Amino acid sequence: MGVSKTHHFTDEQNRIASISKALGHPARVAIIEYLLKVGTCICGDIVNELPLAQATISQHLKELKNAGLIKGNIEGTAICYCIDEKTFRILKDYFSKVILTVPNQKYY
């Protein structure tokens, strides 16, 4: 495995890449969509929603949390997960800027 050269890129470029990598699995996209629908939930709720084992869901939640896409708050003996709105504002701002920069031309 080669040495990472992330230091050659801006903080914003590295942040967007990290977030995008976390979203690079369909199970994680499904988890985000579920959290957007329900607001908050515990891991068991997601296990009941998706066709994945609890350990697999937990690993995906860990990746999403490490990327800053979700937050987890301890409630009793469980962790209650929700969307981290700050990170989604970063994505919204970035992609809005990109979309406005794309020329209004048809490509064939």
Assess whether pLDDT exceeds 80 at residue 99.
yes
pTM assigned to the model: 0.85
Dihedrals phi, psi of 3, to nearest 5 degrees: -75, 135
Q: CB under 8 Å to 3, separation ≥6 — which residues?
A: none
**pLDDT digit string, tens, across residues 60-76:** 999 999 999 999 999 88
Q: From CA 47, how far away is CA 55, in angstroms rounded?
A: 9
Distance CA 6, CA 16 (A): 12
Taken in order 13, 86, 59, 48, the sign of the CA dihedral is negative
Beta strand 78-83 with 40-42 is: antiparallel
CATH number for 11-97: choose from 1.10.10.10, 1.10.3720.10, 3.30.70.360, 3.40.30.10.
1.10.10.10
Flag whether pLDDT at 58 surpasses 60.
yes
Instruction: Report d(CA 70, CA 66) in Å as an integer.
Output: 8
- What is the chain's mean pLDDT, rounded? 91
Instruction: Quickly list H helices, 3-84.
Output: 11-22, 26-38, 43-49, 54-66
pLDDT in tens, 82-95: 999 999 999 999 99
Domain ranges of the chain: 11-97
Confidence band, pLDDT 50/70/90 cuts, at residue 1:
very low
